[in-house]
């Protein structure tokens, strides 16, 4: 390819990108919350990044928690109904077991995508002394809430990734930098793990009608939404307003910025979360508890029918 043609193509590409950005609506930060570290149970620490008060603002997302627990901790058999969960391991490993005898371990960089649907029972125990990760709960619309459960595990090597101009992204769901995840969810979402080198920036398109937020894993000089905004540090949730473009800059001179950019199509239905269940009403929650305690309607394989 001759230098003149190459220069022309690069010029057209840059001009097209500038045109696109000039016609986009940047999403500004409308809320930021620090997820403080709390003792959940003995040996278990958690940062609750999304709580019940955020359900309407962050529809379709119900919960996001960054967790860490020791070998002495873990969660014996327990049920879920009415949502999908994404468990993303940052350090260590988590062993999952199901009453039917299935067993698997996800380790650093791996993802478990579990559709609870009408009912699923599993246990979670640490594999190493130090274990750290994130779990996201995604609501299901009422027409899909009682679908058959399923479990998908993605190794780190199966997750597409791309790198460009000091920006690296792992595309767990959705599309970024020309790379598209082959995995789809019942409720359409985008789940991107970005790492920005010092001084770099990224501009990610997000569907206008979708809810969008970021969770900062590492870094203290992240600027979100507008270049003139104040820097935001690790363990903050950053909620974006309307628009179709999320811009992020790493203002640090020596430290990378790592964050999750998560977006999804709102469901627009009433949501009630109680313990391990997510439904549309308290009456449906009561039915879920009754079904589990009586080992029926999706919980036939339950071995422990008592919830605290």
Residues in the annotated binding site for Fe cation: 78, 80, 122, 124
Q: Are 264 and 61 in contact (CB under 8 A)?
A: yes
Q: Which residues pair with 153 in a beta bridge?
A: 112
The DSSP letter of residue 21 is H
User: How far does CA 87 lie from the centroid of its chain?
Assistant: 8
| Beta strands 75-80 and 189-196, pairing class | unpaired
Q: Binding site: what residues are annotated?
A: 78, 80, 122, 124
Who contacts 286 (Cβ-Cβ below 8 Å, separation ≥6)? none
Task: Enter the tokens of residue 217.
Answer: 């894993």
The enclosing H or E element of 135 equals strand 132-139
CA distances from 91 to 38, 43, 111, 155, 198 (A): 19, 16, 12, 14, 23
32: tokens are 């930021």
The 8-class DSSP code of residue 130 comes to S
Tokens of 140: 């299901």
- Distance from the Cα of residue 6 to its chain's centroid: 39
- Exposed e or buried b per residue across 225-242, where buried means at least 16 C-beta atoms within 10 angstroms of its C-beta: beeebeebebbbbbbbee
Of 95, 166, 91, nearest to 130 by C-alpha is 91
Q: Which of 234, 214, 219 is nearest to 50 (CA)?
A: 214
């Amino acid at each position: 390819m001759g230098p003149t043609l190459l220069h022309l193509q690069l010029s057209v590409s840059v001009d097209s990108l500038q045109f696109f950005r000039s016609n986009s609506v940047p999403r500004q930060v409308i809320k930021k919350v620090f997820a403080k570290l709390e003792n959940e149970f003995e040996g278990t620490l958690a940062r609750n990044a999304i709580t019940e008060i955020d359900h309407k603002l962050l529809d379709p997302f119900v919960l996001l928690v960054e967790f860490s627990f020791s070998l002495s901790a873990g969660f014996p058999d327990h049920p879920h109904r009415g949502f999908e969960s994404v468990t993303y391991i940052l350090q260590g490993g988590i062993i999952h077991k199901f009453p039917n005898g299935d067993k698997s371990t996800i380790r650093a960089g791996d993802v478990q995508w579990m559709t609870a649907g009408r009912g699923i029972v599993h246990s979670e125990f640490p594999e190493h002394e130090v274990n750290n990760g994130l779990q996201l709960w995604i609501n299901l619309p009422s027409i899909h809430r009682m679908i058959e459960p399923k479990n998908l595990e993605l190794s780190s090597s199966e997750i597409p990734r791309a790198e460009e101009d000091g920006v690296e992204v792992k595309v767990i769901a959705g599309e970024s930098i020309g790379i598209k995840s082959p995995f789809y969810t019942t409720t359409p979402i985008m789940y991107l793990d970005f790492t920005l080198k010092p001084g770099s920036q990224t501009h990610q398109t997000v569907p206008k009608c979708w809810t969008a937020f970021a969770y900062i894993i590492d870094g203290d000089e992240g600027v979100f939404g507008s270049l003139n905004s104040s820097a935001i540090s690790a363990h903050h949730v950053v909620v974006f307003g309307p628009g179709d473009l999320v811009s992020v800059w790493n203002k640090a001179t020596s430290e990378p910025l790592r964050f999750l950019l998560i977006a999804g199509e709102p469901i627009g239905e009433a949501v009630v979360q109680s313990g391990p269940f997510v439904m549309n009403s308290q009456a449906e929650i009561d039915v879920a508890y009754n079904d589990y305690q009586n080992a029926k309607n999706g919980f036939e394989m339950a071995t422990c029918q008592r919830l605290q």
